[in-house]
Amino acid sequence: MSVYQTRLRRGGIFGLIGSLLILAGCATHHNESTTASLPDEGPFRVEQDLRFSPDGWPEALFADLYLPTGQASEARHPVVLMVHGGGWQRRSREDMAWIAEEVASHGFAVLNIDYRFAPAHTFPAQLYDLQLARQWLNRHADEYQLDAGRVSGFGFSSGAHLIALLALVASSDSDLNQPHGGPETRLHAVVTGGLPSDLMAFGSGKLIRQFLGGEQQDIPEIYRKASPISHVTADSPPFFLFHGAMDMLVPFDQAKRFQEALEDHQVYSELYEMHLRGHVTSFLTAGEAVDAAIGFLVGPQARQQEG
């Protein structure tokens, strides 16, 4: 029986909600900068099930596009490319819908996407899917009044891994930019939750083995290339990291070491440490982290990357 089921039996749903609310306010924001005030909440509309993969792609991929409607008609929207978690092999973009709604209500367009799953599709298939989605934003910028020069990323867990990898690869000379990446797929800021930044530190666990297609001892270079921490350069975009301090699935050290790698290259970052929370609870109680992340995206540290 899970801890959530136990709490439900002992205290009912209200006891569980109370526990989550207590956890939600327990965090330390490391390297917090002075950020701009959050824009007022406003209305948005959703274009659902837009196909962003081309004909002939191994799998048809879709996304939901959230568009603010409270701005002047000529205004272009800054964009957030959003990617769900699930161990690279399950879940759906619906998991991120509540975050997409929150971000869109503060004036961002949000493209909340699908990607191909392991083990049927192994790395770098998922990275290619994200590169396609980023290219789709460039092509459809005029149609949806998108600011293709100000596209950020937001992901949780395996989605955090993929969005971080997209941003870092596009800001480097990695061969993973071929054939679908390159400078036109750059992100100017990134938000990650529960980020597995160094896959080499996990050995050959089942999820990673299925994602990468083999044991680390047999394909060590693939494990290195699939690790975001291996691609940090001085040209990397700023990062906002949120992570559960008691995460046993993706240890907090993964976020700490990644932030240290960014600092070593003089790349700006913030770390929102969520106390008393593990991997799942850091997502379920991420409301204040999301607010802080939006503040980061509208603040000077992210905006300085424009242009």
What digits encode the pLDDT tens for the residues 69-121? 986 656 899 999 999 999 999 999 999 999 999 999 999 999 999 999 999 99
Say what the pTM is. 0.91
What percent of the chain lies above the pLDDT cut of 90? 83
CA–CA separation, 172 vs 234, rounded Å?
9
Give, for 200, the enclosing helix (H) or strand (E).
none
CA distance 281 to 24: 9
Name the amino acid, one letter, at 115: Y
How wide is the angle at C-alpha 253 spanned by C-alphas 117 and 166, nearest 5°?
A: 40
Chain mean position to CA 66? 16
Alpha-carbon distance 16 to 19, whole Å? 5
- Identify the weakest region by mean pLDDT among 35-39, 58-62, 225-229: 35-39
User: 255 Cβ partners below 8 Å, 6+ apart?
Assistant: 195, 197, 241, 243, 271, 273
Q: Residue 296 in contact with residue 267, Cβ under 8 Å?
A: no
Q: What CATH number belongs to 3-303? A: 3.40.50.1820
CB atoms within 10 A of CB 75: 11
Residue 54 phi/psi, 5-degree rounding, is -75, 165
pLDDT band at 36 (very low <50, low <70, confident <90, very high): low
CB 80 within 8 A of CB 111: yes
Phi-psi group of 192: left, alpha or beta (phi > 0 → left; psi -120 to 50 → alpha; rest → beta): beta
How far is Cα 182 from Cα 188, in angstroms, rounded to an integer? 14
How far apart are alpha carbons 178 and 173 in whole angstroms?
10
Look at residue 38 in the predicted model and tell me its pLDDT: 80
Q: Locate the domains of the chain by residue range.
A: 3-303
Distance CA 251, CA 126 (A): 23
Greatest Cα pair distance in the chain: 56
